[in-house]
Amino acid sequence: MKCCTDCFTNKDIQIYISDNGLRSDCEFCHSTRVYTHDTQFVGNFIRDGLTRAYTLPDPGLMEHGLDDSNTIYDILMYDERIFPHTLNNDGTSTWLIDALIEDSAPSWHEVTQGSHDKYPEGGNTFLALINGFVGESSTRFSQSWNGFVEHIKHTSRFFDLPTEGSREEYLKDLGILFEYCELLLPTNTSLWRARVLEEHPLNPLDIQDALGPPPPARASHSRMSPTGITCFYLGDSPDTCIAEIRPEVGCELLLGKFITKNILRILDLTKAPNIAKTSIFQSDYDHDMRWAGDFIGQFIDETSRPISSNDSGLEYLPTQALSEYIRSKNFHGIKYNSSQNTNSGTNYTFFLKPKDDYPWFPMPGNSEECMEFHNHMYLCEHQWISLTNVSYEFEKLEARKHTELCMTYDKSTDSKIPY
């Protein structure tokens, strides 16, 4: 029997039929003068696709009610959606599946030579997604990240040992996903930074230095950068940047508003991107990409979760090393969820340095002049504020402590400075 390109909505199956078939009339959907091909060969093509993504169910999972399998009928009609609705509605797709699976089954001669049919029940054969029970934790993305975390924490930190995988190799798979997380931060975006200062700077240049990126000698240990390496931390609002520094009641803060001068390439780790599922009938189908969005969601939660100051030395190591990897991929910075302002606060870490942070002597391969802070943003105004109240609300959720920071503060002076 012959089926045709009109019997399917999947582009890969249509291309296979048109590349290998001839024009004739279809016995299933009754289209005329269309490309058709034998159900034996189209069935083998569909079997190859099913093999890339599905397997026979695990009896152990089935026994404990943890199986999430479906029949080939349901998989092709409703999960992979390879047929037009009209063929599903009038039962033609069921008839076509029977023909595709039966006609592509091993021949009697092949059976005598040891072959067996993986789908002995035809369209009624139950199949489950490969690694469907464990999902994103089975992907190379999860395994690479977990391996990198273990490596950077407990194996080697500064040099790759000959007997161990390199840190860049661990992160290579994550680099594929980062392409889906790219964000172009527009020109004239407003961002905020807060500093606790004991003395008031008196002139505009001192104020700008106080609010700008710290010099290496004052660069402290943070989520995305170790001590001595300058990064520029900003928030999307005054509340967010104040919450991040966790000030005490009664202290005075210098709050600055910055404006971006040009478009900045940012890695957005605030939400999982919508990664479209690719067709199982593509020869380069990547099964791990099926859970890529779920993995990024878990990765975002892990890299932005609150960390105790007692644990930060070890727990910040993976994100600090990751930050350097992201920087090496020509990103200007990273956007991520605030762990302190849980009401949708957003942080930014920019790989921007103060103007005086460049050595007078030549550095090998040094081409970072474009990452100078003044080239990409400027301070447009500042405020002195006095913190009058800070309260912490704790909510116990799944044995993890979440903190919500509530603040009130008094603005003293609003100053706009023509930098």
Burial class (CB in 10 A: 0-12, 13-18, 19+), 152: buried
Whole-angstrom Cα distance, residue 404 to residue 144?
32
Whole-angstrom Cα distance, residue 204 to residue 210?
10
Ramachandran angles phi, psi of 297, nearest 5°: -60, -45
DSSP tally for the chain: helices H, then strands E: 14, 15
The answer to whether residues 201 and 189 touch, using CB atoms and an 8 Å cutoff, is: no
Which own/partner pairs from 144-149 qualify as long-range (CB within 8 Å, at least 24 positions apart)? Answer: 144/170, 144/171, 144/172, 144/173, 144/174, 145/170, 145/174, 145/299, 148/318, 148/321, 148/322, 149/318
Give me the pLDDT at residue 30, please.
96
Q: Is the pLDDT of residue 383 over 90?
A: no
Q: In what order do the strands lie in the sheet with 34-38?
A: 2-4, 34-38, 22-24
Residue 52 carries which DSSP code?
Answer: H
Give the pLDDT mean for 341-349: 84
Structural Rg of the chain based on CA atoms: 29
Give me the pLDDT at residue 356, please.
62
Least confident of 178-192, 349-363, 405-419: 405-419
Least confident of 66-70, 171-175, 388-392: 388-392
The tokens for 388 are: 């009058």
Q: Is the pLDDT of residue 418 over 70?
A: no
Whole-angstrom Cα distance, residue 384 to residue 410?
9
Ramachandran angles phi, psi of 34, nearest 5°: -120, 165
| pLDDT, tens digit, 9 for 90 and up, residues 346-372 | 999 999 988 665 444 444 444 444 467
Helices (H), 179-236: 204-211
Whole-angstrom Cα distance, residue 256 to residue 254?
7
Buried b (16+ CB within 10 A) or exposed e, 163-202: eeeebeebbebbeebbebbebebeeebebbbbbeeeeebe
Confidence bin at 207 (pLDDT 50/70/90): confident
Helix (H) or strand (E) holding 4: strand 2-4
Strands 190-196 and 182-185: unpaired
**Residue 89 exposure: Cα atoms within 13 Å on the Cβ side:** 3
| pLDDT, tens digit, 9 for 90 and up, residues 263-298 | 999 999 999 998 988 999 999 999 999 999 999 998
Strands 333-337 and 264-269: parallel
Q: Is the pLDDT of residue 398 over 70?
A: no
Residue 37 carries which DSSP code?
Answer: E
Task: Find, among 276, 15, 285, the residue nearest to 129 by Cα.
Answer: 285
Give the pLDDT mean for 108-124: 90
Q: Is the pLDDT of residue 89 over 90?
A: yes
Whole-angstrom Cα distance, residue 309 to residue 307?
6
Whole-angstrom Cα distance, residue 217 to residue 227?
8
Give me the pLDDT at residue 391, please.
60
Task: Check: pTM over 0.85? Answer yes or no.
Answer: no
Share of the chain above pLDDT 90, in %: 50
Whole-angstrom Cα distance, residue 256 to residue 196?
12
Write the CA distances from 60 to 63, 120, 126, integer angstroms.
Answer: 5, 20, 15
Whole-angstrom Cα distance, residue 126 to residue 114?
23
Most confident of the ranges 77-81, 115-119, 396-400: 77-81
Give me the pLDDT at residue 8, please.
98
The answer to whether residues 125 and 72 touch, using CB atoms and an 8 Å cutoff, is: yes
Whole-angstrom Cα distance, residue 302 to residue 195?
27
